Copies of this chain bind each other. A is one copy, B any other.
Amino acid sequence: MLRMTTACCLLLQLACLAAAPGAVPMEITPVAPGVWRCRFGQPEALTPTHFRSAPIAAEALAAMPAVDKPPLAAAELHVAVSARGCSLRLPLGTDEGIYGLGLNTRWFEKSGRRQMLIPSDGPEDPAGPSHAPVPFYVSTAGYGVYVDTARFATFNVGNVAPVEDAASGAGAMADNTADLYRARGLAVRHMLVEAPAAQGVDVYLFAGPALLDAVRRYVLFAGGGAVPPLWGLGMVYRGKSDFGAADGLSLARKLREQHIPCDVFGLEPGWQTKAYSCSFVWDKGRFPDPDAYLRQLRELGFHVSVWQHAFTHPDSPIHEALRPMSGDYRVWGGLVPDFALPEARRIFSEHHQQVLFGKGVDAVKLDECDYQPFGPEPWSFPTASRFPSGLDGEQMHSLFGLLYQQTLLEPLTAANRRTWGLVRQSGALAAPLPYVVYSDSYDHRCYVRGLANQGFGGLLWVPEVREASSLEDLYRRVQTVIFSPLAQIDPWYMKLPPWQQINAEKSNRGEVMPEAPEATVIVRRLLELRMSLVPYLYAAFNEYRLHGTPPIRALIMDWPGDPAARGIDDQFMCGPSLLVAPLFAGQASRQVYLPRGRWCDFWTNEILAGGRSVAVRKPLDQMPLYVREGAILPLARPVEHIAADTVFELEARVYGTPTGPYVLYEDDGLTNDYLRGQQCTVI
Contacts and interface: CB of A to CB of B under 8 A. Distances in A.
Interface in A581-602: none
Contacts of A268: 175
A258 to B, nearest CB: 25
A382 B276 contact: no
Nearest to A374: B127
* Residue from the set A44, A83, A323 with the largest chain B CB neighbour count within 10 Å: A83
* Residue from the set A114, A269, A270, A333 with the largest chain B CB neighbour count within 10 Å: A333
12 contacts: A126-B376, A127-B375, A159-B378, A160-B382, A168-B330, A170-B314, A170-B330, A173-B242, A173-B274, A173-B275, A192-B384, A194-B382
A175 B241 contact: yes
Given A84-B196, A197-B85, A386-B21, A171 B332 contact: yes
A65 interface: no
B377 A112 contact: yes
Contacts of A162: 328-330
Nearest to A83: B197
A44 B84 CA distance: 12
A204 to B, nearest CB: 21
A238 to B, nearest CB: 13
Interface stretch (A178-186, A645-653, A668-676): A178-186
Nearest to A173: B275
A375 B375 CA distance: 14
Interface string A97-119: 00000000001000011111000
Contacts of A331: 161
A453 interface: no
A10 interface: no
A424 to B, nearest CB: 13
A683 interface: no
A165 B379 CA distance: 16
A394 interface: yes
How many copies of this chain sit in the oligomeric assembly? 2
Given A114-B375, A376-B115, A194 B383 contact: yes
Contacts of A82: 197, 386, 392
Contacts of A216: none
Contact of A183 (B173, B183, B198, B379): B379
A123 interface: no
Contact of A174 (B183, B269, B328): B269
A20 interface: yes
Interface residues of A, number: 89
B175 A270 contact: yes
Contacts of A332: 169-171, 184
A16 B323 CA distance: 24
Given A114-B376, A114-B378, A163 B327 contact: yes
Nearest to A22: B386
A154 B152 CA distance: 15
A83 B328 contact: no
A80 interface: yes
B329 A163 contact: yes
A491 interface: no
Contact of A376 (B80, B113, B168): B113
Contacts of A314: 166-167, 170
B241 A171 contact: no
A107 B377 CA distance: 12
A179 B379 CA distance: 13
B329 A161 contact: yes
B376 A493 contact: no
A84 B392 contact: yes
A177 interface: yes
Contact of A173 (B156, B179, B269): B269
Contacts of A194: 382-384
Nearest to A168: B333
Given A323-B163, A326-B163, A377-B183, A171 B269 contact: no
